[in-house]
Structure 1
Amino acid sequence: MHITISLADQTLTLDGAGQRRYPVSTAAVGADERSGSNGTPRGEHLVRARIGEGLPVGAVFRGRRFSGEILTPEQAAAEPERDWILSRILWLGGLEAGKNQGGDVDSFRRFIYIHGTPDHEPMGQPASHGCIRMRNADVIDLFDRVPLGCAVSITE
Structure 2
Amino acid sequence: MREGIAISLPQQQLVVQRDGRTRLTLPVSTAAAGADEREGSGGTPRGWHRIRAMIGADAAPGSVFVGRRPTGECYSEALRRAHPRRDWILTRILWLCGEEPGRNRGGNVDTQRRLIYIHGTPDSEPMGVPRSHGCIRLHSAAVMTLFDLCRPGMPVWIGAQ
The TM-score bracket by the shorter chain reads over 0.9
Superposed CA deviations along residues 58-96 of structure 1, whole A, max 9, x for unmatched, are 000010000111111111233333210000000000000
Q: Which runs of 5+ in 2 are unaligned?
A: none
**CA distance in 1: counterparts of 2:111 and 2:139, whole angstroms:** 22
Give the aligned partner of residue 99 of structure 1.
103
**CA distance in 2: counterparts of 1:70 and 1:146, whole angstroms:** 24
Q: Which runs of 5+ in 1 are unaligned?
A: none
Out of 2, 5, 9, the position equivalent to 1:3 is 5
Contact 1:33/1:106 (CA < 8 Å) preserved in 2? yes
**CA distance in 2: counterparts of 1:37 and 1:15, whole angstroms:** 30
Contact 1:25/1:126 (CA < 8 Å) preserved in 2? yes
How many residues of Structure 1 are paired with residues of Structure 2 in the alignment?
Answer: 156
TM-score by length of 1: 0.97
**CA distance in 2: counterparts of 1:155 and 1:73, whole angstroms:** 33
What percentage of aligned pairs have identical amino acids? 55
1:28 Cα offset (Å)? 0.1
What RMSD, in angstroms, separates the aligned Cα atoms of the two structures?
Answer: 0.9
Structure 1 residue 134 and structure 2 residue 138: aligned?
Answer: yes
Give the aligned partner of residue 114 of structure 2.
110
Out of 150, 156, 159, the position equivalent to 1:155 is 159
Structure 1 residue 43 and structure 2 residue 56: aligned?
Answer: no
Contact 1:76/1:118 (CA < 8 Å) preserved in 2? no
**CA distance in 1: counterparts of 2:45 and 2:52, whole angstroms:** 15
SS of alignment partner, residue 108 of structure 2: helix
What letter corresponds to residue 32 of structure 1 in structure 2?
A: D
1:25 Cα offset (Å)? 0.2
What letter corresponds to residue 60 of structure 2 in structure 1?
A: P
**CA distance in 2: counterparts of 1:58 and 1:22, whole angstroms:** 18
Give the aligned partner of residue 75 of structure 2.
71
Contact 1:32/1:38 (CA < 8 Å) preserved in 2? yes
What letter corresponds to residue 116 of structure 1 in structure 2?
A: G
What letter corresponds to residue 85 of structure 1 in structure 2?
A: I
